[in-house]
A and B are shown apart, each in its own frame.
Chain A
Amino acid sequence: MNKREPAWRVFAGEYNDATLEVKGSGEKTPSYVITPLGAKINRVFIVGVLTDVEPISEGGEMLRAHVSDPTGVFTLYSGQYQQEATDALQRIEVPSFLAVVGKTRTYRLEDQTLYVSLRPEYVREVDAHIRDQWIIETCKHTKDRIHAVLEAKKMNPANVYDLNRLGYSKELAEGVVAAVKHYSNIDLHRYIAMIQESLQYIVPDREQVKTIVTPKREEDKKTEKMKTEKMPKASDKIKSEEKNDPEGVVLEVIRSIEDEEGAAWDEIINKCKEKGLTEDDVEEALSSLMDKGLIYEPILGLIKTT
């Protein structure tokens, strides 16, 4: 019986941190990417915002696309051997929520840096509810992996048998043992923070939650207009908080000035300066918002909300 590879739930932040790869030698021995938290990945299931799709070969048969989650961005390469996925990526409007089942894909630079991306097997447009469900599930799985790494660190030496007996799957146990060996000083706090940020993303009106995520998420893209009408209220609220929430300010500014094409970079910076932010604050907020998938850059120099 050929065992089907499980589809791991992993945030882009964790996946892109991976520098360890186990190369298989053929059909029967698949390749894996091992993340710092020990996910031993051959296949993933991810849900995020499809932010852009572009052809990267001359005939346009190879596409590169980006799917963003609250922690970072997945890069997808889809070609003629993934015809269905390639067709779907061409058809689906940007931005939209996308679910992807895909395989790991790696590329090693001359200096040995490992670049990880995904080769989609199956892509499908989904709604915000499904994206939220995925974030919750991925938070749980990330948390489980953190626990597994902590358990492994208690063992001397870390071993698959004991981890398996604690209830972790054989794949995770193997991945964690390899991760503990390969990655020196796994920064668990980084991943705890990833989960926390992702949770704040889901339930916006909790105490710790910044205003950034309030308006857009629960509503459908089609109710865009209603939202602009609601805007003044939202920005009133922001004023009192703007010092400690530059991202919220920047997001509101973009929303207030963007048109079909987006909002010009310079204009965003000027407006935000009026609101008391420095240029550095704004740039930092923009890149963080981009990572979260709340904004994207359709054309160089123009920013648009998702």
Chain B
Amino acid sequence: MTNDRDDDIQSYINEILDILSEESDKPVSRDELEREFRRFLDYGVPVEQTKQTLIKKFTASTQTAAERMLIADLQPNLSNVHLLCRVISVNEKQVTTRGEKRDILYGVIGDESGTTRFTAWKKFDIQKGDVIEIKNAYTRGWRDMVQINLSERTSVEKTSEDRLMDQNIEPKEYKISNLRSGLIGIDLTVKVLEIKKREVDVNNVKKNVYSGLIGDETGKAQFTSWHDFNLLPGDVIRIRGGYVKTWKGIPQLIFDEKATVEKLTDTTITENAAETKQVPLHELVERRGALDIEVEGTVIEIREGSGLIVRCPTCSRVIKNDECPTHGRVKGVPDLRVKILLDDGTGSVTCSLSREFIEELFGDKVKEWESNTQSDNNSFIIDELHKNLFARRLSITGNALSDEFGTAIIAKKVKMKPFILVDEVESLTKELEELA
């Protein structure tokens, strides 16, 4: 009996969640919903009526009350947005709208859930590092991102540091593979792989910064420390505090004297920190970028722009008719490259293989291909590249980065990686026996 009722409740809750997800931008916790639902039932309210009441309740609350939102939950085209956040960067700019010159502010704000760009149409008095409470702002979608807009009607108030830091940003444990742009309050245990000191000029004050490479069992990342924690290569450390900035998807951890850095004696946790990790392509595409990883996949396309090319001798840009857009008339340098699309069935990345890699893979054949190819017609060599590379499996090691065209790997090492049929059949057969 109870089971039947439980099943029914679950299916009602599923229905309500479906409706709420369509009608409201604010996620509703399943547990909370279930608790409310059961309370109504305990009071003997019929289920259908309970359902209607709860839908009303949850959709209404998101429309009228301006409760504080997290940046991660922002959607395009919301109004009356309430945020508690830190100003990560702020810049001034003059723009002309409808023939009128206006000073605006733009920059990045962040809270414990993430960061976003903002534009302020009024010169609010805010500085980098301020913790502010924003009320009655609105959002717009821009190139896959949500951007927050502060208008004349928006209120921005400086508030105490503690409201954001102490209550909300309890550092959370992360692994390097989970580091994403804008995360703050990082708790990370890593091995220092490389470290370099350099001097920089901040507002005319000379400061030492320490930057380098850190690694854990999931990957590698760059770091920058604005404080001397006496770190040495090989140290295993736990960093608490700090935030993540990315460049084309490659993560960099940034921290300063406000972070706690503890040297650990148990170094087993990061034993394989220096190793190159293999990453499935769906994960790489989702991470957007990564340092020193290995991927495996099948070449499913030889792309436009492959074959014999001519480069500008000064800037190495690919040029046509010995004419460089920057350097004018030049004597072009012939080169060879192949642009491939590598796909492992879960995701795909592009990679441009230089002559060096092509020769490594195919040896003397490359010279032969080239001598059979006319300078103005690539079809012979493209055909050979197809025969030798298309539908073949490759392993590529290198750094991955993303831009608006997708994720690409900058290859450091490339090799053919065919399946050994007999071995694969054997292991698959075994696994199937377990399944069957």
Contacts and interface: CB of A to CB of B under 8 A. Distances in A.
Interface string A175-200: 00000000000001100100110010
Interface string A105-135: 0000000000000000010101001101110
A170 B282 contact: yes
Contacts of B421: 132-133, 136, 202-203
B128 to A, nearest CB: 28
A170 B425 contact: no
A134 B345 contact: no
Interface stretch (B103-111, B157-165, B233-241, B402-410): B402-410
Contacts of A199: 425, 428-429, 432
A7 B144 CA distance: 23
A26 interface: no
Contact of B424 (A136, A167, A172): A136
A255 to B, nearest CB: 24
A7 B300 contact: yes
Contacts of B403: 1
Residues of A in contact with B, size category: 35 or more
Nearest to A203: B425
Interface string B281-299: 1110110000000000010
A101 interface: yes
Binding site of B, secondary structure by majority: helix, strand, loop or mixed? mixed
Contact of A6 (B347, B425, B428, B429): B347
A273 interface: no
A34 B344 CA distance: 19
Nearest to A172: B346
B419 to A, nearest CB: 5
Interface residues of B, number: 40
Contact of B406 (A3, A101, A133): A3
Given A1-B404, A169-B346, A122 B425 contact: no
A192 B435 contact: yes
Contacts of B282: 6, 169-171
B144 A45 contact: no
Contact of A192 (B301, B346, B419, B436): B436
Which residue of B346, B348, B403, B422 has the most chain A CB atoms within 10 A of its CB atom?
B346
B280 A134 contact: no
A2 interface: yes
Interface stretch (A55-63, A140-148, A289-297): A140-148
Interface stretch (B70-78, B222-230, B384-392): B384-392
Q: Which among B282, B285, B422 has the highest number of chain A CB atoms within 10 Å?
A: B282
Contacts of A195: 428, 432
Contacts of B402: 1
A196 B432 CA distance: 8
A178 to B, nearest CB: 13
A188 B434 CA distance: 13
Given A1-B144, A1-B404, A139-B428, A9 B436 contact: no
A301 interface: no
A137 B419 contact: yes
A45 B422 contact: no
A171 B282 CA distance: 9
B216 interface: no
Given A157-B10, A199-B429, A1 B345 contact: no
B343 interface: yes
Contacts of B431: 143
A189 B10 contact: no
A45 B345 contact: yes
A212 interface: no
A136 B346 CA distance: 16
A157 B30 CA distance: 12
A182 to B, nearest CB: 15
B386 A141 contact: no
B293 to A, nearest CB: 16
A47 B343 CA distance: 14
Interface in A246-281: none
B393 interface: yes
Contacts of B298: 45, 133, 137
B316 interface: no
A4 interface: yes
Interface in B130-175: 144
Contacts of B10: 156-157
B418 interface: yes
B14 interface: yes
A243 interface: no
Contact of B347 (A45, A130, A169): A169
A280 B428 CA distance: 33
Contacts of A157: 10, 14
Contact of A189 (B347, B391, B436): B436
A202 B392 CA distance: 17
B345 A7 contact: yes
A133 B393 contact: yes
A160 to B, nearest CB: 13
Nearest to B390: A124
A1 B405 contact: yes
Given A1-B404, A4-B348, A122-B301, A136 B425 contact: yes
Nearest to B281: A6
B337 to A, nearest CB: 20
Given A1-B144, A7-B343, A101-B300, 7 more contacts: A3-B285, A8-B345, A45-B343, A133-B298, A143-B431, A157-B10, A192-B432
Q: Which 7 A-B pairs have the closest CB atoms?
A: A169-B282, A169-B346, A9-B345, A99-B391, A130-B391, A7-B343, A136-B419
Interface of A: 1-4, 6-9, 45, 47, 99, 101, 122, 124, 126, 129-130, 132-134, 136-137, 139-141, 143, 146-147, 156-157, 167, 169-172, 188-189, 192, 195-196, 199, 202-203, 206
9 contacts: A2-B406, A45-B345, A133-B419, A137-B298, A137-B419, A156-B10, A169-B280, A169-B347, A203-B425
